[in-house]
């Protein structure tokens, strides 16, 4: 039942239950403490009267009804003195008996009222006239009506307290949850069309402000991811459209004239093959980025020599790109990282260097030991990168100065993949370049990657 209730209703009921429990405890304490006080005060009063009467007996004074009256012994107080066959009572209409327990009987006309709720003090006094048994009694039944009135009053007060606590709890919870309801309404209204909207942050510094700021931070991250996803889809579509357009154009050319012209046929086949390779590489890069962002890319750290890795990569490129000179300058040290990823990082740097250097240029691969870290560098003597493009070269699909590089421009994904590899290994990457002089790609890593 409680699981189906709203949180505000649960808080209201809990508040009412707690308040009611406290009120009941206080009322019960008041009721029983009142009864205890009446009994203790009656016991004290009886003891004092018995002591006063005992003192008079010891002084030789005879106990009479007038003496009892002078001492203030009136109903519900009662006193009697018994000596032999003589019994002196403070009131003739009252009779004190002891049958298993003390009981007092009061005669009012034809009616008789009995009470066993008594406080009694009994003394045996050796008076000058002889042994006297002295009894002083207070009948507590006179408090029964007052106790009943008190109990009924407390019950009514408890019921009113329950009602008041529920009403107060309802309005307090409603007032407290008003900002949360407003936040819920605002959050429900946010969708893809208005993802830039934010929840209003309360001015008061409390938990609700922290909640709204946290939620707005979450919306900022969602908005950023949504924008990046939309940009990614747009850029990917644009990059795929170019090779598809080329392939379609050569296909139309073949349908019209290429079937009988060997020169056109050969040109079309070569162009289609080239664009197919470019599109295949683009799709592979896109899949690599998607796996990396979804954390599906498994890294396999191993210990290896950085110098050997650089030499191996330089040899691979020397065979595939004989028009460039690949030089290795590395210190001998070992690291623990994903060797396959590190080789791919070097390949990306080298492919960019090859693309923007002339035949016969030297491309240098360096590795420097820096204690618990190390530095990788790939330096070329190529065209260089404009200063305004340096800060954007690692962004996805970014291609600098398209007019100058239109015959060399790739998909713009290589360096963004390189940055992902560096970030994944806990490193830092930067590009330094001067137009007309060359470019240096530098990445600094810890020697042991943290998984």
Residue 220 included in any domain? yes
Distance CA 48, CA 123 (A): 12
| Same-domain status, 137 and 250 | no
User: What pLDDT does residue 363 have?
Assistant: 94
Distance CA 356, CA 406 (A): 12
User: What pLDDT does residue 404 have?
Assistant: 44
The CATH number of residue 393's host domain is: 3.30.565.10
Polymer length of the chain:
451
Residue 30 included in any domain? yes
| Same-domain status, 315 and 435 | yes
User: What pLDDT does residue 445 have?
Assistant: 94
Q: pLDDT tens-digit profile of 74-93?
A: 888 989 988 887 888 888 88
374 burial via Cβ count (<10 Å: 0-12, 13-18, 19+)? buried
Residue 176 included in any domain? no
Residue 169 included in any domain? no
The CATH number of residue 276's host domain is: 1.10.287.130
Residue 172 included in any domain? no
State residue 330 phi and psi, 5-degree precision: -140, 145
413 burial via Cβ count (<10 Å: 0-12, 13-18, 19+)? buried
Structural contact between residues 361 and 340, judged by C-beta atoms closer than 8 angstroms: no
Residue 311 included in any domain? yes
Residue 161 included in any domain? no
Show the low-confidence residues of the chain (pLDDT under 70): 1-5, 7-8, 99, 108-113, 115, 202, 204-206, 232, 235-236, 238-239, 242, 257-260, 278, 281-282, 285-286, 288-297, 397-412, 451
Degrees (nearest 5) of the Cα angle 266, 268, 271? Answer: 110
Going from the C-alpha of 291 to that of each of 228, 296, 297, the distances in angstroms are: 16, 5, 5
340 burial via Cβ count (<10 Å: 0-12, 13-18, 19+)? exposed
| Same-domain status, 115 and 9 | yes
SS3 content of the chain, % helix, strand, coil (to 5): 55, 20, 25
User: What pLDDT does residue 309 have?
Assistant: 94
User: What pLDDT does residue 295 have?
Assistant: 61
User: What pLDDT does residue 262 have?
Assistant: 76
* Pairing verdict, β 334-338 and 325-330: unpaired
| Same-domain status, 278 and 395 | no
Residue 303 included in any domain? yes
User: What pLDDT does residue 215 have?
Assistant: 78
Instruction: Count the domains in the chain.
Output: 3
Domain membership of residue 429 as a residue range? 299-446
Q: pLDDT tens-digit profile of 320-338?
A: 888 899 999 999 999 999 9
């Amino acid at each position: 039942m409680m699981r189906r209730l709203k949180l505000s209703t649960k808080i209201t009921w809990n508040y009412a239950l707690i308040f009611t429990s406290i009120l009941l405890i206080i009322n019960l304490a008041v009721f029983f403490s009142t009864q205890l006080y009446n009994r203790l005060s009656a016991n004290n009063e009886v003891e004092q009267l018995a002591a006063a009467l005992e003192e008079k007996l010891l002084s030789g004074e005879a106990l009479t009804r007038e003496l009892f009256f002078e001492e203030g012994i009136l109903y519900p107080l009662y006193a009697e003195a018994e000596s032999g066959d003589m019994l002196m009572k403070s009131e003739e209409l009252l009779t004190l008996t002891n049958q298993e327990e003390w009981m007092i009987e009061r005669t009012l006309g034809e009616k008789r009222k009995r009470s066993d709720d008594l406080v009694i003090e009994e003394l045996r006094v050796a008076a000058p006239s002889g042994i006297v048994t002295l009894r002083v009694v207070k009948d507590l039944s006179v408090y029964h009506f007052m106790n009943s009135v008190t109990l009924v009053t407390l019950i009514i007060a408890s019921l009113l307290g329950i009602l008041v606590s529920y009403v107060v709890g309802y309005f307090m919870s409603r007032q407290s949850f008003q900002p949360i309801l407003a936040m819920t309404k605002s959050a429900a209204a946010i969708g893809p069309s208005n993802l830039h909207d934010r929840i209003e942050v309360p001015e008061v510094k409390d938990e609700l402000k922290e909640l709204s700021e946290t939620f707005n931070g979450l919306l900022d991250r969602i908005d950023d991811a949504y924008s990046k996803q939309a940009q990614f889809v747009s850029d990917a579509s644009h990059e795929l459209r170019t090779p598809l357009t080329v392939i379609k154009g050569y296909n139309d050319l073949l349908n019209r004239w290429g079937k009988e012209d060997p020169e056109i046929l050969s040109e079309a086949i070569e162009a289609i093959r080239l664009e197919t390779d470019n599109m295949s590489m683009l799709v592979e890069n896109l899949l690599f980025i998607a796996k990396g962002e979804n954390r599906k890319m498994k890294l396999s750290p191993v210990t290896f020599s950085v110098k050997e890795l650089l030499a191996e990569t330089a040899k691979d490129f020397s065979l595939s790109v004989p028009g460039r000179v690949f030089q290795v300058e590395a210190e001998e040290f070992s690291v623990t990282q994903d060797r396959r990823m590190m080789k791919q990082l070097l390949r990306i740097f080298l492919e960019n260097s090859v693309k923007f250097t002339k035949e016969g240029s030297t491309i240098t691969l360096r590795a420097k030991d820096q204690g618990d870290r190390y530095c990788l560098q790939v330096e070329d003597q190529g065209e260089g990168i404009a200063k305004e493009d340096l800060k954007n070269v690692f962004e996805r699909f970014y291609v600098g100065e398209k007019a100058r590089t239109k015959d060399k421009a790739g998909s713009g994904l290589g360096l963004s993949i390189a940055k992902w590899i560096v970030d994944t290994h806990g490193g830092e990457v930067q590009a330094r370049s001067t137009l007309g002089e060359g470019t240096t790609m530098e990445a600094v890593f810890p020697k042991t990657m943290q998984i």
